[in-house]
Amino acid sequence: MTAFASTALARRLDTAVQLAEEAGRLALRLRPPPGAPVATLKGAQDWLTEADGAVEEFLSRQLAERFPEDGFQGEETGRARSGTLRWVVDPIDGTSNYARGSARFCVSLGLIEDRTPLLGVLVAPAMGETFAARRGAGATLNGAPIRAAATTDLSRAMVECGWSPRRPNGAYFRLVEGVMGTGAMLRAGGSGALGLADVAAGRIDAYIELHINLWDVAAALAILQEAGATVSPFLDGNGLAEGNPIMAAAPGIAEGLVVATGFPLA
């Protein structure tokens, strides 16, 4: 259990929502028009846009002013400050969508204490959506409470399988085969953070990815936990530093999905 008083965390959540929404407006102003990607490649299918740096810089500066004692970790600029609490930022999650002018992207701002997710805020400005959660205080979408779905039958389920070039395509095909073998309907939306948030909101029944990084999931972990989803132990082992596989699911189908996919597939 965290040593931080709930009032200190509630104040941080209010600030995080305000800052992430402002960061979202900045990202919207910088969003490229629809068409071929306006971005540079950091690696195979790993995009970097002007907004990634600008949003991360904005959040780093604002958080340092308001909570100078807190640590910070950002995906893009390598900015890092240490502290008992650590803000973890993905300035644009779903960059491959964003770089082509799509609406499916978000600003992700999580707060962790060691291996415990305390707060999560995801703002999808082009969709007008703000997900937020504080440990022990529930999860919301635009202020209304959310819960993971009550689905129990995999043959009626909808499952997103996130893809990245960090794992071999063969492993991804085996994952997809396992999921489809259950009769579940498949999705891939290009934003791990929003896929996980959709599980929390009951819009899909599970999100699975063979490897994902801390900044992609830091906010979503708090939201999923508060929405009653079943989540694999992402922060175990080297999850903090190197990422891990993730499965987040409606509790009624989680065990069946593990059996059907052999999760975590190597």
At its nearest, how many Å lie between ligand IPD and the CB of residue 191?
5
Tokens linked to 144:
């209304």
C-alpha torsion sign, points 231, 233, 238, 240: positive
**216 marked ligand binding residue:** yes
90 versus 205: smaller Cβ distance to ligand IPD: 90
**75 marked ligand binding residue:** yes
Kindly give the residue spans of alpha helices, DSSP state H, lying in the chain. 6-30, 50-66, 95-98, 169-181, 192-200, 214-226, 239-242, 251-261
User: What residue ranges bind ligand IPD (CB under 6 A)?
Assistant: 90, 93-95, 162-164, 190-193, 209, 212, 216
Q: Quick one: how far is CA 127 from the chain centroid?
A: 16
**92 marked ligand binding residue:** yes
- CB nearest ligand IPD: which residue? 192
At its nearest, how many Å lie between ligand IPD and the CB of residue 189?
7
**90 marked ligand binding residue:** yes
93 versus 205: smaller Cβ distance to ligand IPD: 93
9 versus 51: smaller Cβ distance to ligand IPD: 51
At its nearest, how many Å lie between ligand IPD and the CB of residue 214?
11
- 247 touches 163 (CB < 8 A): no
CA distances from 108 to 24, 64, 86, 157 (A): 10, 17, 14, 26
**To which H or E segment does residue 208 belong?**
strand 206-212
At its nearest, how many Å lie between ligand IPD and the CB of residue 52?
8
